[in-house]
Amino acid sequence: MKLVAIDLDGTLLNKDHRISDENMNALSAASEHHLVAIATGRAVMDVQAMLGGRVSLPVIASNGATIFDHSGQLLSETPLSQETAEQLIAYAENHRLYYEATTAHHLLIPFDGKQIIREELDASDKRLSKESAQKAWARAEVQFAQAGWQPRSEIRSLIRSGHAVYKLLFFSFNKQVLTELREQFVDQADLSCTYSLGYTLEFNSSKCDKGKGIRQLAGHYGINQKDTIVIGDSDNDLPMFHAAATRVAMGNAIASIKEISSFVTLDCNHHGVAYSLKNQLALY
Could you give the CA distance from residue 26 to residue 32 in angstroms, rounded to a whole number? 10
What are the two backbone dihedrals, phi and then psi, of residue 235, each rounded to the nearest 5 degrees?
-55, -45
SS3 label, residue 76: strand
Q: Could you list the mean pLDDT of each consecutive 10-residue stretch along the chain, which spans 284 residues?
A: 97 96 98 98 95 94 97 97 96 96 95 92 70 78 89 92 96 92 95 86 97 98 98 95 98 97 98 98 94
pLDDT at 196: 78
Q: Is 7 noted as a catalytic residue in this protein?
A: yes
Q: Give me the residue spans of the domains in the chain.
A: 3-77+208-280, 82-205
Q: Which of 237, 240, 242, 213 is nearest to 75 (CA)?
A: 213
Q: Which CATH superfamily is domain 3-77+208-280 in?
A: HAD superfamily/HAD-like (3.40.50.1000)
For residue 226, the model assigns a pLDDT of 98
Tell me what pLDDT residue 58 has: 98
* CATH number of the structural domain 82-205: 3.30.1240.10
In this prediction, residue 128 carries a pLDDT of 63
Model's pTM, two decimal places? Answer: 0.94
User: Which among 7, 9, 237, 267 is annotated as catalytic?
Assistant: 7
The sheet with strand 263-264 has its strands ordered as 74-77, 66-68, 59-61, 35-39, 3-6, 228-232, 246-249, 263-264
* pLDDT reported for residue 136: 80
Cβ-contact 243, 211 below 8 angstroms: yes
CA separation for the pair 57, 38 (Å, rounded): 7
- Round to whole Å and give the CA distance between 236 and 193: 9
Secondary element (H or E) of residue 212: helix 210-221
Alpha carbon distance 242, 224 (integer Å):
15
Structure-derived torsion over alpha carbons of residues 279, 18, 164, 74, reported in degrees to the nearest 10? -50
Are the CB atoms for 215 and 198 separated by under 8 Å? no
CB under 8 A, 24+ apart: contacts of 83-86: 84/188, 84/190, 84/191, 85/159, 85/165, 85/168, 86/156, 86/159, 86/160
Measure the CA–CA gap between 50 and 59, rounded to whole angstroms: 12
**Cα–Cα dist 254/179, whole Å:** 19
Measure Cα distances from 221 to 37, 124, 128, 138 in Å.
Answer: 12, 49, 50, 40
pLDDT value of position 25 = 97
Q: Which helix (H) or strand (E) holds 134?
A: helix 130-144
What pLDDT does residue 127 have? 61
- Look at residue 195 in the predicted model and tell me its pLDDT: 86
What size, in residues, is the chain?
Answer: 284
Angle subtended by helix axes 175-185 and 82-94, to nearest 10: 140
